[in-house]
A and B are shown apart, each in its own frame.
Chain A
Amino acid sequence: MVNYGGDEVAAIVVDIGTSTVRAGYAGDDTPRAIIPTTYGFHHIPSEGDVSMEDDAGGSTSPPKGSLKLYIGQNGPSLWREGMEVSNPIVDGLIDDFTVIPPLIEHSLADVMRCTPSEHPILVTEPTWNTPENRERMAEIMFEEFQVPAFYIANTGVLSAFSAGKGSALVIDIGNTMASVTPVVDGFVLRKGLAYSSLPKLVHAHARHIIAGKRIDLTPHQLISNKLPVDPGAPHRATLREDRIPGTTDSWRTWSETKEVEEWVQSVVGVLEQGWNDQVAASRPPRQYEFPTGYSTYFGQERFSIGEQFFWHSPQLVHGNPGLPRHIPALISDSLRACDPELRQVLMGNVVLTGGGSLFPGLSDRLSAELLRTFPHTKIHAPGNPIERRYGGWLGGSILASLGTFHQLWISKEEWQEHGKPIVGQRCK
């Protein structure tokens, strides 16, 4: 038991991201509960709506204030009349704490079927998290969930741990944020942190291309039937006219965003050796069918989207002063802020993580870019998509199952004794 340093105390690791909330037991290799962070809600009048409770099915819908929430797999993705959709995360940080307890409650109690008050809970936070946010999170855990112990750990550090490294340069490309975090001896070098909302720009670029092709992004929830058509031919789908008046704008936006995301995920690639028109043209085009039944081939443009991660055209930079920095810029900014002695160490331990890094060719391209300036670069990019997407959670699972970690928990007793400052003192 002592040999490998593990001592499992049935801790639970909760990793809240922009797209999904991951929760699971420490020591597992995969989160048990993965639910979308986006939730649907109804503004309900003062009296409770019992009939809607049945409609929600497996999802929980605890009334929060004047809201009725729809959380989980059957939350926003089920069409409900007049349902609004929202996401509590803005730029990787929790912006709206009102829905965080229901989200955690749903993933722990409804999906994992466990009682939060019996388990120590480790929560993750991005590096740019504010002290108020982490204190609020501790408060929620101790006051609402009555957890015996709590800890909040940095996703960058945890991603490095998931790769088995104490010191690493963590490149995390998520749903909305891309960040480069230098980690040394299990601590983040805050001065070396560089992050930008690059994935948003990539998404906007993809959306721009879709819009340029005048493709109808009507989601399948609004289509009653469709007929197969040849590629490029206009779709022959019948809409569910009965649902259209009851569809809210926020749900419509969310569903269209989801369609674009799915298209991006299945079509977009990155050229391994930098942009080259000939190579991009020589790659086989890929067919994609939208929910309406319309299908077409995508050739060169699918690589132009991936190129946004690494290079921005001068006119784009010129026209948008606040353009998010691309990955090479983030890396060089991060390294510039680090001690020159550390650069070699960090470049020898680059950890690539996050679901946004799963585009084909992205890790090869990254290594090609880095090797140009740092010949000793070694990139750790797990091939297993679960490990890549949930690197932060996995590192938390490792950390919270270590015997030596158990002295770091903030216990309920300590919380009651010291209050909020204990979080900042303990979780450095």
Chain B
Amino acid sequence: MAASAADVRSILSIPDSGATPGPSQPKKSTAQSTRKPEGISRELYSLIGPSAPSLAAQLAKPRLKQKPNLGGGGKVKWEYRPFKNSGRKDSLELKHWVKASTPLDTEYPFAKYNVQSTVYTYSQDDYTRFLEDKDWTKEETDYLFSVVQEYDARWYIIHDRYTYPRSGFTEPRELEDLKDRYYSVCRKLVRNRSWPGDDASRAQLISSFQFDKERELTRKKYLVSLENRTPEQIVEEEALYIEIKRLEQNERQFKKDREELLRTIAGIESGLPDIIEDEGILNLSIDVKKKKKGSSAMDIDSPSTPVPPPPVPVVKRPQTAKSAAYDIANCIIRTDPPTTIPATKAAHQPAYLRSFKLPVPKAAIAPKVTAALAELGISHSRLVMPTRDNSLRLEALIDATSALVETKRLVDKADYEIRLLKTRLGMRESEGADGEGDGGNADQMDVDEGAEGTQPIGEDGRAQSVVSTRSARSRKHTRRSVSVSSVDTSGTVSTRAGTKRQKRS
């Protein structure tokens, strides 16, 4: 159904540009000139034209897939041949089919499986010298050895077939009796005879004949008692077993959790692999956390200026003089891992470029700092050459700028308040003359008077709200400070920052 390019061209009356016409439009001249290929009917050829040569070629020669050559090739001749088995002592000839290519005198392939176990024999002299046993006669020992040889030391069968009439006994011998006797005789024979090999192989052979009859009997007794358990006993045993498994699993789980916890915390706090120290640090860090929590939640009397959390004792790696010299020689600067990162799994601090960790001004005053730096033509976010010194300098510069901006802000604020108070003073002066002394005090900014006098009346709502969070110590501090207003505002600012931080944590 798909229209060929030629169809499209003819529909759009575009002159045929291509040299090859579509299959639906065979050029008559070419069709006449080319010969019809073999194996394709004339009608089909006139339909499809010469443009499908591959199809025609396929039609021309139908061919089957080549048969795989599995080697050998051709027929295999088999012969029904008599054979002799070298495992047999007689001349029995059985017949079987073999490949005619096998030579006539081949060894019967299964004869090699006819392996005989080593037989231990002893003479009468041997027996009287070291094989005497009060429970065994020589005849019975002989019989035992013949049976063992006959059944290739398959002890269960030997025990089953062992029938030796013993005078005075009706009970047949136990399997362990037979084994004990046989192995002890073998041991003695090996020990007392001249040995062609070395002592090690001899000892090995003797040890292979070791047989502890008592132990075997006890083992069998246990086996029987195991079989004779009542179903209730079995059920109880199984329940106990499951219980033990459960306890073991709990123990393992607990151990795993504990290890993981230790690794996480210890990895951050100290990086020390030693478990005892880790435990100490663990306790310590928990204490720190508790303290932090207490200070934020309950301790209202704590100073409004937030004290930095007590520094966690960082155990430094012992830095020897040698390593220090090495560091200097190779321009290696060691930095202590930051201690304030929250305890997460990422205890390991990855390597980073110094330029990635440039100091950043405080977010509140960042625009002003940036503007101030821009005035100097310095970009705080980019250092052309972020060496250690440069980044330290930049940090110092940003700190200085921040301080400057902060100071500027405080100055502006103080100016504003002075102006405000002045206007108020002016208003009072216009009202009456009794408040003159007060006004002069305020103007001079005497400490005690100003603090006592201005606070109840002169503070706006914002300051009021802050009062409650301030402690007595801060008041004392304010009394001592030089400027009422400046101390107050700084207190307000820092307290707010403190509350914010507390909320965040």
Question: Which residues of chain A have a CB within 8 Å of any CB of chain B?
Answer: 1-2, 5, 7-10, 120, 148-149, 184-185, 187, 189-192, 339-343, 402-404, 406-407, 409, 411-414, 417, 428
Residues of A within 8 A of B151 (CB): 187, 428
- Indicate whether B94 reaches chain A with its CB closer than 8 angstroms: yes
Verify A2–B156 contact, CB threshold 8 A. Answer: no
Residues in B neighbouring A192, C-beta threshold 8 A:
160
The answer on a CB contact under 8 Å between B96 and A7 is: yes
B94 touches A120 (CB 8 A): yes
- Give the docked Cα–Cα distance between A4 and B371 (Å): 93
Inter-subunit contact A406/B110 (CB<8 Å):
yes
B13 contacts A by Cβ under 8 Å: no
The answer for the CA separation of A191 and B114 in the assembled complex, in Å, is: 28
Are A406 and B85 touching (Cβ within 8 A)?
A: yes
* B220–A341 touching, CB < 8 Å: yes
Given contacts A10-B95, A411-B92, contact A339 B159 (CB under 8 A): yes
How far is it, in angstroms, between the C-alpha of A340 and the C-alpha of B230 when the chains are bound? 17
- Within B105-131, the residues touching A (CB, 8 Å) are 108-111, 113-114
Main secondary structure of the interface of B (DSSP, over half): mixed
**Which residues of chain B come closer than 8 Å to A412, judged between CB atoms?**
92
Q: Does B175 sit within 8 A of A, measured CB to CB? A: yes
Q: Which A residues touch B227, using CB under 8 A?
A: 340, 343
Q: Judging by beta carbons under 8 Å apart, are B95 and A187 in contact?
A: no
List which B392-436 residues lie within 8 A (CB) of chain A: none
Inter-subunit contact B92/A339 (CB<8 Å): no
| From A8, A343, A409, contact of B96 by CB (8 A) | A8
Name the CB-closest residue of A to B109: A2
B90 shortest CB reach to chain A, Å: 5
Contact A341 B96 (CB under 8 A): no
Residues from chain B with Cβ under 8 Å of A402 in the complex: 110
B161 contacts partner chain A, Cβ-Cβ < 8 Å:
yes
Task: State which of A2, A7, A189 has its C-beta within 8 Å of the C-beta of B157.
Answer: A189
Task: For residue A117, give the distance in angstroms from its CB to the closest CB of chain B.
Answer: 13
Residue in contact with B110 in the complex, picked from A2, A191, A339, CB distance below 8 Å: A2
A-B contact pairs, 6 of them (CB 8 A): A8-B96, A10-B96, A149-B94, A184-B156, A406-B108, A411-B88
* Min CB gap B93→A, angstroms: 8
Contact A9 B96, beta carbon cutoff 8 Å = yes
Mostly helix, strand, loop or mixed at chain A's interface?
mixed
**Please, which residue of chain A has its CB at the minimum distance from the CB of B98?**
A1
Q: How large is the interface on B (under 10, 10 to 19, 20 to 34, 35 or more residues)?
A: 20 to 34
Are the C-beta atoms of B110 and A149 separated by less than 8 Å?
no
Contact B156 A339 (CB under 8 A): yes
- Docked CA distance A419–B316 (Å): 98
Q: Which residues of B contact A404 (CB under 8 A)?
A: 110, 113-114
* Bound Cα distance A406, B96 (Å): 11
A187 near B92 (CB under 8 angstroms)?
no
Most buried by B among A189, A407, A409: A407
Whether A341 touches B160, Cβ cut-off 8 Å, given contacts A2-B110, A8-B97, A187-B154, is no
- B111 contacts across to A, CB distance below 8 A: 407
B223 interface residue (CB < 8 Å to A): yes
| Residues from chain B with Cβ under 8 Å of A407 in the complex | 85, 87-88, 110-111, 114
Min distance, Cβ B97 to any Cβ of chain A, angstroms: 7
CB of B91 within 8 A of chain A? Answer: yes
Question: Taking the nearest CB of chain B, how far is it from the CB of A334, in angstroms?
Answer: 12
Knowing A10-B95, A191-B160, the reply to whether A414 touches B90 (Cβ < 8 A) is: yes
The chain A residue with its CB closest to the CB of B95 is: A9
Contact B110 A403 (CB under 8 A): yes
Q: How far is the CA of A404 from the CA of B115 in the complex (A)?
A: 11
For residue A405, which residue of chain B has the nearest CB? Answer: B110
Complex: A160 Cα to B223 Cα, angstroms: 26
> A1 contacts which chain B residues (CB < 8 A)?
109
Flag whether B150 is at the interface (Cβ < 8 A). Answer: yes
The reply to whether B154 and A184 form a contact with Cβ atoms under 8 Å apart is yes
In the complex, which residues of chain B have a beta carbon less than 8 angstroms from the beta carbon of A417?
Answer: 90
> CA A402 – CA B90 in complex, angstroms?
19
Given A189-B160, A411-B92, A413-B91, 16 more pairs with CB closer than 8 A: A1-B109, A8-B96, A149-B92, A149-B94, A184-B156, A185-B156, A190-B160, A339-B156, A340-B224, A340-B227, A341-B220, A406-B88, A407-B114, A411-B88, A413-B90, A413-B92
Known contacts A7-B110, A407-B87: does B223 contact A341 (CB below 8 Å)? yes
Q: What is the CB-to-nearest-CB distance from B147 to chain A, in angstroms, rounded to a whole number?
A: 11
Note all chain B residues with C-beta closer than 8 A to A149: 92, 94
B159 to chain A: which residues have CB within 8 Å?
339
Closest residue of chain B to A345, judged by CB? B156
In the assembled complex, how far is the CB of residue A119 from the closest CB belonging to chain B, in whole angstroms?
10
A414, B85: Cα distance in complex, Å: 14
Interface string of B148-175 (1 = CB under 8 A from A): 0011001011011100000000000001
Distance (whole angstroms) from the CB of B280 to the closest CB of chain A: 53
Q: How far is the CB of B17 from chain A (nearest CB, A)?
A: 71
Nearest CB in chain B to that of A11: its residue: B94
Least CB distance from B113 to A in Å reads 5
Most chain B beta-carbon neighbours within 10 Å: one of A5, A184, A341: A341
- B93 to A, closest residue via Cβ: A148
A146 to chain B minimum Cβ distance, whole angstroms, is 14
Distance in angstroms from B356 CB to nearest chain A CB is: 67
